[in-house]
Structure 1
């Protein structure tokens, strides 16, 4: 069983049916799912959430300075973190939002030891603002923060995808799910799990990844209890 984990969420999990914006009902449902999975466990949880429902630098920032476009995306992740915090605290779960970009009126600055202390006290720590620098994805942020806070694994949440496949299951009906892989196999087979920087960091530090369908019934709870779900990637 894992004692401390980092959950990587897509910003689209908070969005409306078109994948844009922040839908309060959808966000509340996501919060209840996470809280229900935590109930009765001793898992210490940190969350990194993306901002693709609000802004994607490559798509929305065409013609802009790339660094500026990325900073706008980082601000979007803070908005998502605050929305998820509100939903979780409304449902009774103490949380803290911490950001790599200082904005003390709305969130705490990210300090590694403080984040760890919050988790030890039973608070869910939601990490926004990326890692404070442009040109890095939230995949890389999730890996970096997991290593910093001593997380034993990254749970990489998907929607309607229950693991890693040998080819795109949306295009190939005969695609086979892979229950276990090494980081190197993911690189060599060019499987699109996460960006290369994040995957290389996981491989170098031997940080396990679990790719799973967040919305398949009880998957997250089963993971918190130490059951095998989705695809495990480890060295």
Structure 2
């Protein structure tokens, strides 16, 4: 079963994707490479919006486990996503792509506030919108923020760029016999606790019938391939289609 070609998509990137292979929180070369991938996908006629995590700078859950107040730690993590969004915006603008950053936590000096109708208008005008600061609330991950924004923007699918080419029966870096799924249902992902995205994000996509496509963002040219229905990826969708 082949994957459809989606038009409007939300791309979810982990903060670690901005680190490249080094130890820098934000590697300019890695960010430039991501921007090139996104610009190439945009050039193929896709409408794009993005959510990027902040784990390369600060991870709220990890900090809370070490004694930080959870709400305060999550807010710090949200601020990290703003830094990542600004870094990606800079690289995308250098690549000739018109962008806007919208933050769920108002900070008028560096970004627009998140306003749904304004974001839709930007997308309709061909701009890439980068959604920063998660949902603006603690206790919610950027996965959930991505699912929420995908629903609000009327996206055809949510694409999650990772360091592996899909979802496996086990960690392929540890278990060489692990098998990759081509298609999965939301029910199986939730029931088997497969680490695709957090449960709230998967349930939100299920309830709004938004397919989740998991692919390797680190492979050059792969984003455009997968967007066009090719490449290697795992798609999570309704059971009658999975």
Give the TM-score, by structure 1 length: 0.95
Q: How does 1:10-159 map to 2 (within 5 A)?
A: 10-39=14-43, 41-61=44-64, 62-159=66-163
2:207 paired with 1:234: no
Q: Give the count of matched residue pairs.
A: 233
Moved over 6 A (4+): none
Separation (CA, whole Å) in 2 of partners of 1:23 and 1:228: 26
Corresponding residue SS for 1:104: coil
Query: CA offset at residue 26 of structure 1?
Result: 1.5
Separation (CA, whole Å) in 2 of partners of 1:21 and 1:218: 24
Give the TM-score, by structure 2 length: 0.92
Moved more, 8-17 or 97-106: 8-17
Separation (CA, whole Å) in 2 of partners of 1:143 and 1:118: 19
Query: CA offset at residue 6 of structure 1?
Result: 0.1
Q: Which residue of structure 1 lines up, in the alignment, with residue 217 of structure 2? A: 214
Corresponding residue SS for 1:53: coil
Query: CA offset at residue 76 of structure 1?
Result: 0.3
Separation (CA, whole Å) in 1 of partners of 2:190 and 2:24: 31
Moved more, 61-70 or 96-105: 61-70
CA contact (8 A) 2:226 2:233 kept: no
CA contact (8 A) 1:19 1:53 kept: no
Gaps of 5+ in 1: none
2:178 paired with 1:172: no
CA-based RMSD of the aligned residues comes to: 1.4
Moved more, 110-119 or 183-192: 183-192
Among 195, 202, 207, which residue is 1:192 paired with?
Answer: 195
Separation (CA, whole Å) in 1 of partners of 2:103 and 2:41: 25
Separation (CA, whole Å) in 1 of partners of 2:89 and 2:196: 27
Separation (CA, whole Å) in 1 of partners of 2:62 and 2:30: 24
Gaps of 5+ in 2: none
Corresponding residue SS for 1:8: strand
CA contact (8 A) 2:35 2:95 kept: yes
Query: CA offset at residue 16 of structure 1?
Result: 4.9
